[in-house]
C-alpha cells in the first residue's frame, strides 16, 4: 500500500501581541486539518506572537505568555494531527526564534532559527540568538521533515544539513513581507533549495498588515526538480491541503490548486488596501477622514480608504481658501460622489484671517512667503485633527513618496494624521494607479465599480493651491524627472555621478539630493504607511537627521 502524508497549510493573518486571538486562529486551522484528515497542520513563522514584534519580544513576560499559549495549544490539539507553529522561547537566558511541533499534548520537536536576517526591515540579530542547525522530525508514519525557518531557506546550508541528516520534505515557515516583484525572488530561491537537495519543499507565508509591512501569503509547494505542485493565492487568508505520496524516488506532492497571481500594480493597490484595513482593525479604529483637495493624491487615498473600509466609514472634507479653484471644488465633490462617501466643506478663510491678525504685530510689513503658505496647511491640519478628536475618526495623510522624499509637505499641516496609504508610491505611479483603479474592480474592494477618480483630476497639473496660479513644477522638477532621480538616489543608493551618467542634469540632481537630506526630520515624524518597495522610508532606509555630508562626485 502506497504511503500518503497530508499537510494542511494555514496561510493566516495574526496580530502582534494578540496571543489569545492568534492561538484561536491556530486552533481553527487545526480543526480544519483534523476534519480533512491531515497528518500535520503548519502555520507560519512567529505566528503565536504575530510578526514583526520588534523589541516587544525582549520582554520576558511577553515571551512567557507566548509559551503558555503554545503549551495550551499542545494540550487542546492533542487528539488529532500535529500542529507546527512559530514563536519565541528563552533557553538558558538566550532568546530564540523557534518553530514548535506539537503532538499528543507535548512539544515533540523544536527548530531554532540559524540565519538571522539583519537588513531592510529586519533586525533579528539584536533580538535573537542564532543556534546550531536543527535535525529532522517525524509526526506520523510518514516522511521525515525538516523546517528551515524563513531566512534559513535562503541559503544552502540549513536545508542541506537537514536533508543530509534524513529530511525527506522541507516545510519552510515564513514571515516574509511584500515588496513589489518579490514573489519570483522567493520562488527562485526555493527552487534552488529543491534542486540542490532533490526533495520537495513547502513554503508557508503569513498574510496581513502590521504597521508598515504587509505579508502577502502566496504559499506554494515544489516537487523535485523545482516543479510547482501547488500555488495558494496572494494577499488573502487561506487554508489548503496538500497530499504527498511515497514513490520509488522519494516523496512527491500531488497536484493541487493553482491560484493566479495579479500583476504588480494590482498587488500594490491591494497591499495599500489591506495595509489600511488591518491597521484600522488591529488598532481599533472604525472610521477615517481625510482632506479632499481636488488633487490626485487625496483622490487615490479616498479610493483606497473606501475599498478598505466601505463608503459608510469614510468622510472627506474640503477645506477651501481663496486660492482654491472652482475646478478643485468641483473635482473634489465629484470624487466624493463617485465613491459614495460623506463629504463636508469647512472654509479656512476665517481661521486664516485670525492667525494673520494675531501675527501682524510681529510680521509687520514683511513680504508674504512660504510662511503664509504653511499657515494655510497647518490650519487645515488643525481643523482636520479637531474633527478626528471629536468624531473618533482616524485622519489619513495623503503625501506620495516623491513629496515625502523631498519634503514637499508641511509638518504639523498636511503631514498630520495617523496613517498614509501612499507613503511608498512615487507620484508617477500614483497617476498610473488611478487609471488602473478606474478600469478595474475586484471582489475585495468595498468601493463601487467604474470611474471613482474623475479624469479631470488625473489630467490637470498638480498644485498645492497655496498661492495664485501655483503649480508643483514651480518648486520641483517635473515628476517624471524627479521620480527618476529619486529612484536612483533613494531606492538604488546611486551616486550623483551615476545619475549624471544616466542623463540627468547635475544641478537638478544636486538640488534633489539636498532636499532629500534636509527633509529627514520630517520623515522622522511622519505617519506610517504600507511598504511597497524594498527601499521604503523608515526601517528600510535609516538615515541620520543631522547629516552634513554631500556627494560631490
For the annotated binding site for deamido-NAD(+), the residues are 374, 403, 522
To the nearest 10°, the Cα dihedral for 252, 191, 235, 110? 70
- The residue from 98, 112, 124, 150 that is catalytic is 150
Q: Rounded to an integer, what distance in angstroms lies between the CA atom of residue 205 and that of residue 202?
A: 10
Give just the sign of the alpha carbon dihedral 46, 47, 52, 57: negative
Binding residues for ATP: 291-298, 398
Decide if 31 is catalytic. Answer: no
Q: Rounded to an integer, what distance in angstroms lies between the CA atom of residue 336 and that of residue 321?
A: 19
* First-last CA distance in the chain: 71
Q: Rounded to an integer, what distance in angstroms lies between the CA atom of residue 279 and that of residue 198?
A: 41
Whether the Cβ atoms of residue 271 and residue 421 lie closer than 8 Å to each other? no
- With b meaning 16 or more CB within 10 Å and e meaning fewer, what string describes 128-145? bbbbebbebbbbbebbbb
Binding residues: 176, 182, 291-298, 374, 398, 403, 522
According to DSSP, the β-strands at 342-345 and 314-318 are parallel
Q: Where are the alpha helices (DSSP H) in 326-447?
A: 326-339, 349-363, 370-391, 401-406, 427-439
Residue 193: count of CB within 10 angstroms of its CB: 25
Decide if 150 is catalytic. Answer: yes
Binding residues for L-glutamine: 176, 182
- The residue from 112, 113, 282, 287 that is catalytic is 113
Give just the sign of the alpha carbon dihedral 187, 188, 189, 194: positive
Q: Rounded to an integer, what distance in angstroms lies between the CA atom of residue 224 and that of residue 253?
A: 9
Q: In which element (H, E) is residue 163 found?
A: helix 156-164
Distances (CA, A) of 33 to 141, 255, 531: 17, 18, 33
Coil, helix or strand for 363? Answer: helix
Strand partners, 84: 42, 101
Decide if 499 is catalytic. Answer: no
The residue assigned the cell 479653484 is 325
Catalytic site residues?
A: 45, 113, 150
Amino acid at each position: 500500500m502506497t504511503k500518503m502524508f497530508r499537510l494542511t497549510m494555514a496561510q493566516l493573518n495574526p496580530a502582534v501581541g494578540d496571543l489569545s486571538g492568534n492561538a484561536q486562529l491556530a486552533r481553527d486551522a487545526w480543526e480544519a486539518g483534523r476534519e480533512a484528515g491531515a497528518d500535520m497542520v503548519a502555520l507560519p513563522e512567529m505566528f503565536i506572537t504575530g510578526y514583526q514584534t520588534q523589541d516587544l519580544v525582549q520582554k520576558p513576560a511577553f515571551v512567557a505568555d507566548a509559551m503558555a499559549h503554545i503549551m495550551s495549544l499542545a494540550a487542546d490539539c492533542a487528539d488529532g494531527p500535529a500542529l507546527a507553529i512559530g514563536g519565541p522561547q528563552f533557553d538558558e537566558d538566550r532568546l530564540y526564534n523557534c518553530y514548535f511541533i506539537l503532538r499528543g499534548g507535548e512539544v515533540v520537536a523544536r527548530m531554532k532559527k540559524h540565519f538571522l536576517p539583519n537588513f531592510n526591515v529586519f533586525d533579528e540579530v539584536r533580538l535573537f540568538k542564532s543556534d546550531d542547525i536543527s535535525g529532522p522530525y517525524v509526526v506520523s508514519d510518514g516522511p521525515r521533515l525538516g523546517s528551515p525557518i524563513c531566512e534559513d531557506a535562503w541559503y544552502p546550508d540549513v536545508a542541506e544539513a537537514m536533508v543530509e541528516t534524513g529530511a525527506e520534505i522541507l516545510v519552510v515557515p515564513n514571515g516574509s513581507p511584500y515588496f513589489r516583484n518579490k514573489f519570483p525572488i522567493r520562488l527562485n530561491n526555493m527552487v534552488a533549495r529543491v534542486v540542490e537537495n532533490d526533495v520537495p519543499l513547502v513554503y508557508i507565508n503569513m498574510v496581513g498588515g502590521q504597521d508598515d509591512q504587509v505579508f502577502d501569503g502566496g504559499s506554494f509547494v515544489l516537487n523535485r526538480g523545482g516543479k510547482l505542485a501547488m500555488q495558494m493565492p496572494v494577499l488573502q487568508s487561506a487554508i489548503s491541503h496538500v497530499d504527498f505520496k511515497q514513490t520509488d524516488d522519494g516523496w512527491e506532492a500531488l497536484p493541487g490548486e493553482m491560484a493566479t497571481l495579479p500583476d504588480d500594480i494590482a498587488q500594490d493597490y491591494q497591499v495599500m488596501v489591506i495595509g489600511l484595513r488591518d491597521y484600522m482593525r488591529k488598532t481599533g479604529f472604525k472610521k477615517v477622514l481625510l482632506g479632499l483637495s481636488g488633487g490626485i493624491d487625496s483622490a487615490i487615498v479616498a479610493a483606497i480608504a473606501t475599498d478598505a473600509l466601505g463608503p459608510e466609514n469614510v468622510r472627506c472634507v474640503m477645506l477651501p481658501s481663496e486660492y482654491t479653484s472652482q475646478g478643485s471644488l468641483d473635482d473634489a465633490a465629484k470624487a466624493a460622489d463617485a465613491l459614495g462617501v460623506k463629504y463636508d466643506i469647512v472654509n479656512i478663510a476665517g481661521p486664516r484671517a485670525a492667525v494673520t491678525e494675531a501675527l501682524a504685530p510681529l510680521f509687520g510689513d514683511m513680504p508674504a512667503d512660504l510662511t503664509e503658505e504653511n499657515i494655510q496647511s497647518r490650519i487645515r491640519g488643525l481643523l482636520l485633527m479637531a474633527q478626528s478628536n471629536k468624531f473618533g475618526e482616524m485622519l489619513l495623510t495623503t503625501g506620495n513618496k516623491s513629496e515625502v522624499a523631498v519634503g514637499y509637505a508641511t509638518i504639523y499641516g498636511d503631514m498630520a494624521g495617523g496613517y498614509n496609504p501612499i507613503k511608498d508610491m512615487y507620484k508617477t505611479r500614483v497617476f498610473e494607479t488611478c487609471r488602473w483603479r478606474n478600469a478595474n474592480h475586484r471582489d475585495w474592494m468595498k468601493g463601487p465599480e467604474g470611474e471613482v477618480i474623475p479624469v479631470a483630476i488625473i489630467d490637470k497639473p498638480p498644485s498645492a493651491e497655496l498661492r495664485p496660479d501655483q503649480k508643483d513644477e514651480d518648486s520641483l522638477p517635473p515628476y517624471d524627472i524627479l521620480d527618476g532621480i529619486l529612484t536612483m538616489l533613494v531606492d538604488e543608493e546611486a551616486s550623483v555621478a551615476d545619475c549624471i551618467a544616466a542623463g540627468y542634469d547635475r544641478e537638478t540632481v544636486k538640488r534633489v539630493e539636498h532636499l532629500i537630506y534636509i527633509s529627514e526630520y520630517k520623515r522622522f515624524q511622519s505617519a506610517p504607511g504600507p511598504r511597497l518597495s524594498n527601499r521604503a522610508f523608515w526601517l528600510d532606509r535609516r538615515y541620520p537627521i543631522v547629516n552634513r555630508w554631500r556627494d560631490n562626485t
